[in-house]
Amino acid sequence: MSIPLILASQSKPRRDVLYAAGICPTIRVSHVDEPAALEAAAAQTGVAVDDLTVEQRVMILAEAKAQAVHRAYRDVADTAAAATGNRVIAYPLRAAEVQAEDAEIDEGADAVTADSSIDYSSDRIATTRDFSGVDMPTVTEPISNIIALQPGLTRATVGPLIIGCDSMFLMDGECYGKPHSAEVARARLRKMRGNSGELWTGHCVIDFATGRVARGASHATVHFGDFSDKDIERYIATREPLEVAGSFTLEGFGGAFIDGIEGDPHGIIGISLPLLRKLAAELGVEWTDLWNVQRGEIAPESADAAGIAMAGKDNLPPVENVHQPGDGWVDCACGRKHWGTNGASGILLARRDPATGKVTHVVMQHRAAWSAEGGTWGIPGGATADGESPIEGALRESYEEANITPEDIEVVGSYREDHGNWAYTTVFAFEKLGHSVEPKANDDESMEICWVPIADVPNRKLLTAMKTDWPRFAARLDELATAYAGK
């Protein structure tokens, strides 16, 4: 299996460069306060920010981004490693009544098969199969087995590699970042025409398993053509130059205004492949060990990346959605099509009354209209990424989607519904004593994320799987609250 790579950037050009080079990264935005990071670094060296060279600036910011994502993944791994309690594994497809039902379907003319002719937006495919009332065979084991026996962050000996990048443009001794406004972009572009400058990109690579760090910078000289004021206005109207370092791109509308480049062209786009290969080698990783895309494979469209059974043109997913390792449909043995090539998982987070210890609320997600079973309520979660255990995937996804901070919760059990070639793991967790989680929708996969009173959960329009499982989940939460009273 390839070594996973995490890109601490939401830059589509950087992601596309990696994908074209055979690497599909996991995207994790760092949310670094860049001015504050520069000020802190300058203060440590006893100089002003204006005294920092462009190379120093991009290196400082690249490492700040990589370290922020490294800390976030460290929190996930630490919380997963501290998990206690039991894992219950249920095998619904082994139940006698399910096997009998499947036999009847197979004999009928309307049997479901997984092929390209199926309309996966139909209810039979888009909704999870309802196993309510089914006496499912189960196995119970210590949850620590997941950590001890399954691949994951806590057991990795190498990787994932976390990459932080930052770019700035240097011209006439002045450093340019992103202009953010049309006025700033206009002034810069007028200075740039017929002129030359240097595009610098800092790179920081961290090996999660060892904590080792490798750093470097890429730069290239860019020669601009003598474009007109009309060209500038039309270019600004595309909005492309507003959120890119230096107010120009090589791979977009701005490419026609660049007469020549001296140096690494990928560095102009914001990520230098030759430099990254060298930095990975410093950490003992062969570049080819990072390949996880087949030659000629096209990056999936956003609809596929979101894991959606499309319900019509009015329910399209956000264009920002990107394909990540582990995303993809699985033709499940249960006759449905499920999301997550490595399976999927989510967090069922409960809040307890400080006095009685009883569960009072759980965090729930009101699913976006464009998602499968859109408009229903469930728990935050998603596909397990390459190199993660189900618990780690649930913790990562629930933070990204719902702001459930892993350092503020404790994992106390799990429930895995195993279909053979696909499984979904529900991870039970409590807020730690003295800690408070403030859930919110961090992306467009949710209409709403909130604490829901435990008694109100059955009154919501629940995701099929949640509706099926809620009675046993509610009973399990009561048992766990009793077992963890005072903890």
| pLDDT per position as a tens digit, 236-249 | 999 988 988 888 88
339 and 219 housed in the same domain: no
126 belongs to a structural domain: no
What is the sign of the dihedral through the CA atoms of 271, 272, 277 and 283?
negative
469 belongs to a structural domain: yes
| pTM over 0.85, yes/no | yes
CATH number for 268: 3.90.950.10
85 belongs to a structural domain: no
Between β-strands 86-90 and 409-418, what pairing exists: parallel, antiparallel or unpaired? parallel
Contacts 24+ apart (CB under 8 A), 272-275: 272/201, 272/203, 272/218, 273/17, 273/21, 274/218, 275/203, 275/216, 275/217, 275/218
Write out residues in the chain with pLDDT < 70, as ranges: 100-127, 147-150, 296-322
Question: Which among 50, 75, 135, 166 is annotated as catalytic?
Answer: 166
404 and 463 housed in the same domain: yes
Whole-number pLDDT of residue 299: 61
334 and 254 housed in the same domain: no
143 belongs to a structural domain: no
The verdict on whether 166 is a catalytic residue reads yes
217 and 362 housed in the same domain: no
What SS3 class is residue 222? Answer: strand
251 belongs to a structural domain: yes
Is-contact 91 137, C-beta < 8 A?
yes
What are the structure tokens assigned to 308, written together? 């959606």
395 and 478 housed in the same domain: yes
230 belongs to a structural domain: yes
250 and 341 housed in the same domain: no
286 and 371 housed in the same domain: no
434 and 347 housed in the same domain: yes
Of the three residues 269, 290, 311, the one that is the final residue of a domain is 290
339 belongs to a structural domain: yes
CATH number for 331: 3.90.79.10
279 and 358 housed in the same domain: no
Instruction: Give the whole-angstrom CA distance, residue 372 versus residue 382.
Output: 12
Residues 6 or more apart whose CB falls under 8 angstroms from that of 101 comprise none
Whole-number pLDDT of residue 345: 95
Closest CA to 186 of 252, 226, 225, 230: 230
Total of domains in the chain: 2
Of the three residues 262, 290, 318, the one that is the final residue of a domain is 290
Is-contact 347 341, C-beta < 8 A?
no
Q: Max Cα separation, the chain?
A: 79
Domain that holds residue 199: 5-75+156-290
119 belongs to a structural domain: no
Whole-number pLDDT of residue 331: 86
404 and 274 housed in the same domain: no
260 and 164 housed in the same domain: yes
Of the three residues 272, 290, 308, the one that is the final residue of a domain is 290
209 and 264 housed in the same domain: yes
Residues 6 or more apart whose CB falls under 8 angstroms from that of 15 comprise 7, 9, 25, 27, 322
Instruction: Give the whole-angstrom CA distance, residue 347 versus residue 392.
Output: 10
Instruction: Give the whole-angstrom CA distance, residue 481 versus residue 432.
Output: 12
